[in-house]
Amino acid sequence: MLIITGLGNPDPKYAGNRHNAGFMAVDAIAHAHGFGPWRSKFNALVCEGFLETGAGRTKALLLKPQTYYNESGRALLAAVNFYKLAPKDIVVFHDELDLAPGKFRVKTGGGAAGNNGIKSITAALGPDFRRARIGIGHPGDKAKVTPYVLKDFAKADKDWLEPLLGAITKAAPLLTDGKDDAFQTQVNHR
């Protein structure tokens, strides 16, 4: 089993924010792969389904913490403890200021780079989970970061965001086999 978590803020007013890129990614996976309906569990919205590869079907739980971005670790920890999973079975999609808009990287472990959602998850689970980082760019001034991430994507961003989300959904089954490099490569060849 795999838990794929998207980071974001639950209030509808945040739905189109850059900080909700993780929610957007798991919503796209749920839709493209025919996952079941979203329901409340673990202080999160969750839905279940299967990702199919040539090796077979792997059950996946998609999770959108409802604890707000900065407390995402609480919801994910509850799910990880319930299913008794290891960090290698966790993938977290989140926005990344340190990547240019539209860039995409996957890595296991590392620091939080100032991302409070990642800090929360690291405090709950340790640093060795898998991170799928969606580049949103940096506003250029540290004082402008909070308003920037809590602002909706610009219309021009749709030119890269929609193809990126489509590529993520198409490549998602590679995550079940731990083929993170192949997943990243396929997404970046969109």
Q: Hey, which residues are catalytic here?
A: 19
Task: Tell me 172's DSSP state.
Answer: G
- How many CA atoms, within 13 angstroms, populate the side-chain half-sphere of residue 114? 9
Q: Which two tokens stand for residue 30?
A: 């749920």
Q: Which two tokens stand for residue 89?
A: 């079975």
Report CA torsion sign: 35, 40, 41, 45. Answer: positive
Task: Tell me 38's DSSP state.
Answer: -
Report the DSSP pairing between strands 56-65 and 130-135: unpaired
In single-letter form, the type of residue at position 37 comes to: P
Please count the helices (runs of H) and the strands (runs of E) in the chain. 6, 7
Q: What distance in Å separates the CA atoms of residue 13 and residue 23, rounded to the nearest whole number? A: 13
